[in-house]
Amino acid sequence: MELKNNYKKLNIDWIPQKNINEPLYKQIIKYFNMKIASGDWPVGTVLPSQRDLAEIFQVNRSTVTTAIDELSSYGVLEGIVGKGTMVKSNTWSLMLPQNISNWGNYIQSGTFKENNHIIQTIKSMEEEKKFRKISIGELSPSLFPKNFIQNSMHKAVNTIDNLGYLESLGLYELREIIAQRLRRKNIDVGPKNILITSGSLQGLQLISICMLKAGTVVYTESPSYLGSLQVFQSAGMNLKGLSLDSDGVQYWNMDRKDFLENSPVLYTIPTNQNPTGTIMTPQRRQDLYDFCMENRIPIIEDDAYGDLSYNDDIIYPIKSLDENGLVIYLGTISKILAPGFRIGWIVGAESVISRLADAKMQVDYGASSLSQIALAEILSSTKYDDYIADLNEKLAIKRNLMLASLEKYFKDYATWNTPQGGLFIWLELNKNIPIEKLFKEAAEHDILLNPGYAYDYEKNRCIRLSFSYIENHLIDETLLSLSKLIAKYFM
């Protein structure tokens, strides 16, 4: 690469201001950006040495190093051996340090910034094999019904003679089998009431951008599933938490002022709630529905964990009460079978589904046809019901193992629920301890856990324990190790 300039010609006649709130290194980054974006310092420009820059800017050398390191990480600057630091890119990379778009703002800021940060950290750590993962809200790979799925997929593959775009609502056969299965839950809908999405997070996104005004108050359980909170927030919604009791969400705590001014919406996970495992009772469901009907509060019902049930109680979704299009219902295959299909579904009134389908086409032209064809084959098989029954038995065993270990090691430190379904036990410590510190200590002992505050509107003293991913023989020793780490804070 041609070196177009020499630093002696740069004529830097600026120094950062020491009496303002903005850190010196950030001011230097902005100055560099401005000079590069304006074209004053074209690509190939060699900067003065860090020592010289520190002198010119009248700052510590480490301040200059921090600024240059950050711009290098964005690809704006590059160190060239024997030649110093050079301007490497003056376009896309230069956009990275700035909060330039709505999305950028969202990622960089907001109530859930910190939560987002810890969740991102956990996600990247989840890729590492060494950890015993009681954090991860997924089924263990060992629960995957390999033979059944491979056989179904081979069958599906044999039917593929092209792979075009599908109808805008998604594969008809898949919607039909989903409608059949929904009727077992007392939800009486047809294929036209169903839109296939690329996972249920996308369902929430479509509802947010398509149906809700910016500033709409979205009530959620507190704590609730962070992914959904983020998607609402990125669409400019105003999130408010409602406390939970053992019967479900305390809907009556909604602020009546919102009813008049902000036309609020309720987002709820009534069955096997993430993260608390709460199951809303039939009575609470009816009361909640009547309350929302009377006050014209639309409901988004997330039933991601509905099929994960460890007893014989049948509790129908809120949607089953709904004759009036009050409820939009979200389903997914991610928690009951595998997230890699990236398939979810939105169920609602035809007119609403048709509008959401239009938006979906404009976002990504539909979910993977291959995933949809495979899943239609899988869900049509009676073996799928056998699989669910077997899965729930295995998960109940995992739950029991974890409960037994909790009973052995945690009685003095915490309380917890006995979930009747879902993937999680919600552990509440008996006193406040520095959970971030515990998280790090656990990680040093190869245990990955999910601090409960990541799911909440305020700090709490909870940990979300997942029993679905970790192998059975590791559960007891993992909880023993964790209890020892926690015990230290109780001495």
The answer to whether 382 contacts its own copies (rule: CB under 8 A) is no
* Residues numbered 13-72 forming contacts with its own copies, rule: CB under 8 A: 37, 39, 43
Q: Which residue's CB is nearer to its own copies, number 1 or number 81? A: 1
Q: What residues between 237 and 296 interact with its own copies by CB under 8 A? A: 263, 293, 295-296
Per CB under 8 A, which of residues 350..369 are in contact with its own copies? Answer: 350-352, 355, 358-359, 361-369
The reply to whether 390 sits near its own copies by the rule CB under 8 A is no
Judged by CB under 8 A, the stretch of 211-219, 277-285, 303-311, 452-460 that binds its own copies is 211-219
Rule CB under 8 A: choose which of 23, 60, 69, 75 binds its own copies.
75
CA distance 363 to 272: 30
Q: Which of residues 287-346 bind its own copies (CB under 8 A)?
A: 293, 295-298, 323-326, 328, 337-343
Q: Using the rule CB under 8 A, is 180 a contact of its own copies?
A: no
Cβ count within 10 A of residue 152: 21
Instruction: Return the number of the residue (172 or 316) whose C-beta is nearest its own copies.
Output: 172
Q: Which of 17, 150, 283, 286 binds its own copies (CB under 8 A)?
A: 150
Stretch touching its own copies by CB under 8 A, among 13-21, 59-67, 207-215, 428-436 = 207-215
Q: Which stretch binds its own copies (CB under 8 A): 22-30, 58-66, 96-104, 481-489?
A: 96-104
Taking CB atoms within 8 Å and a gap of at least 24, the contacts of 108-113 are 110/233, 111/233, 111/239, 111/457, 112/226, 112/229, 112/230, 112/233
CB of 169 to its own copies, least distance (A): 11
Nearest to 486 by CA among 461, 466, 468: 461
Nearest distance in Å: CB 113, its own copies: 13
Contact call for residue 128 and its own copies (CB under 8 A): no
Q: Contacting its own copies (CB under 8 A), which of 50, 85, 90, 274?
A: 90
Tell me whether the omega of the peptide bond preceding residue 275 falls within 30 degrees of 0, making it cis.
Answer: yes
Instruction: Find the binder of its own copies among 16, 48, 191, 199 (CB under 8 A).
Output: 199
Site for its own copies in 397-436 (CB under 8 A): none
154 lies in the site for its own copies, by CB under 8 A: yes
Q: Does 83 bind its own copies (CB under 8 A)?
A: no
Asked if 144 is part of the footprint of its own copies (rule: CB under 8 A), the reply reads yes
Q: How many residues bind its own copies (CB under 8 A)?
A: 97
Residue 136 burial class via C-beta count within 10 angstroms: exposed 0-12, middle 13-18, buried 19 and up: buried
CB of 406 to its own copies, least distance (A): 26
Strand partners, 81: none
How far is 342 from 376, CA to CA, in rounded Å? Answer: 14
Which among 216, 196, 134, 200 is positioned nearest to 374, based on CA atoms? 196
Question: Using CA atoms, how far apart are residues 4 and 453, in angstroms rounded to an integer?
Answer: 52
Q: Please, what is the minimum distance in Å from the beta carbon of residue 91 to its own copies?
A: 4
**Residue selected from 201, 304, 336, 486 as contacting its own copies according to rule CB under 8 A:** 201
Least Å distance, CB 202 to its own copies, is 5
Can residue 490 be called a binding residue for its own copies (CB under 8 A)? no
- Does 3 participate in binding its own copies (rule CB under 8 A)? no
- Angle, alpha carbons 447-310-220 (nearest 5°): 70
- Geometric angle at alpha carbon 192, from 155 and 281, rounded to 5°: 95
CA-CA distances (angstroms) from residue 380 to 38, 103, 177, 178, 190? 60, 39, 6, 9, 16
